[in-house]
Amino acid sequence: MAKTILITGATAGFGKACARRFADAGWNLILAGRRTERLESLQAELGDAVTAILTLDVRDRQAVHEQLSNLKDIDVLLNNAGLALGLEPAWAVDLDDWDTMVDTNVKGLMYCTRAILPGMVERNCGHVINIGSTAGSWPYPGGNVYGGTKAFVQQFSRNLRADLLGNRIRVTEIDPGMAESEFSKVRFKGDDQSAAKVYAGAEALSPADIAEVVFFVANLPAHVNVNAMELMCIDQSWGPLAVHRKG
Ligand code: NDP
Ligand code: 8X3
């Protein structure tokens, strides 16, 4: 029987690429995001593979509960919806941006997980795949709260595993580095030039690369749990620790 994946943030980037990858392999898809017209066009592209589209803002706790808690037979929950806003230093940042990142990347992911997990526990099977980021492990100037939200995703994923020990439910955190999607356009609030500079001259990861990794971990034998996987494009690596020198 075909398995079912619920993808949050399916209207762009990683989520959309995952929808295509899993549909290609015969999975059923439930696609969620705020932009209905994009969900409809993905449904038109992928046809019967899409069993439902859900216009959903993951920050809306009540809506998440109403729309997700009744879903039965979810084999994989892909907690992908998320965003970064701004790159300002912590003392200059717009507090609304910090709130939006926490509400989406932390609280939205919590709400979706809490809505879907009881059904998985009842059936004693399932897989929660959380999209973290290298930003959750490796700091950079301007990463402040975005990196903090992704560090939450890392520890929450581990703690879910601890809670679920004894159940046949897997939890995986995928931590990509720089990947070319609409991410930077969102971060720079529609400034295409600033967004393009992030990827200029480098061969960034693509959403399809991430989809391949998500597909891989979801299709391992049921007793194999990949706890976490970090990936970067070959053109990205770490720099030295920064030193401020007088004069
Ligand atoms: P995109 O901007 O291309 O896609 C983001 C998706 O998240 C969209 O489908 C958007 O849908 C959805 N989304 C955002 N806010 C909400 C919300 N409140 N409710 C529901 N859906 C929402 O970015 P990516 O595909 O690159 O990002 C996907 C995930 O990967 C994010 O969690 C991001 O932090 C993470 N990531 C990205 C990296 C990168 O370099 N691109 C690297 C590491 C991690 P809509 O606007 O229609 O609601
Ligand atoms: C996205 C990657 O380096 O822009 O999570 O934070 S980065």
β-sheet with 126-131: strand ranges across: 50-55, 28-33, 4-8, 76-79, 126-131, 169-176, 228-231
What is the predicted pLDDT for the residue at 69?
98
Determine whether 94 is exposed, middle or buried from the number of CB atoms within 10 Å of its CB (0-12, 13-18, 19+).
Answer: exposed
Any domain includes 53? yes
Number of folded domains that form the chain: 1
Per the annotation, the verdict on 140 as an active-site residue is no
Tell me if 245 is assigned to some domain. no
Residue 242 lies in a domain: no
- The pair of structure tokens assigned to 141 is 């100037």
Q: Looking at ligand 2, which atom is closest to the CA of residue 147?
A: 6
- Atom 5 of ligand 2 has which residue's CA nearest to it? 133
Q: Look up the CATH number of the domain holding residue 215.
A: 3.40.50.720
Write down the pTM of the prediction: 0.99
Whether 83 is in the pocket of ligand 1, judged by its Cβ within 6 Å, is yes
* Domain range for 59: 4-231
The pLDDT score that the predictor gives to residue 101 is 99
Structural domain contains residue 238: no
Q: Which residues of the chain have pLDDT under 50?
A: none
Tell whether 247 is covered by a domain.
Answer: no
In a domain, 150, yes or no: yes
Q: Is residue 129 part of a domain?
A: yes
Phi and psi at residue 116, in whole multiples of 5°?
Answer: -95, -30
Whether residue 174 is contained in a domain is answered as: yes
**pLDDT tens by residue, 96-140:** 999 999 999 999 999 999 999 999 999 999 999 999 999 999 999
Name the closest-CA residue to atom 6, ligand 2.
Answer: 135
Which ligand places an atom closest to the C-alpha of 107?
A: 1
pLDDT at 247: 85
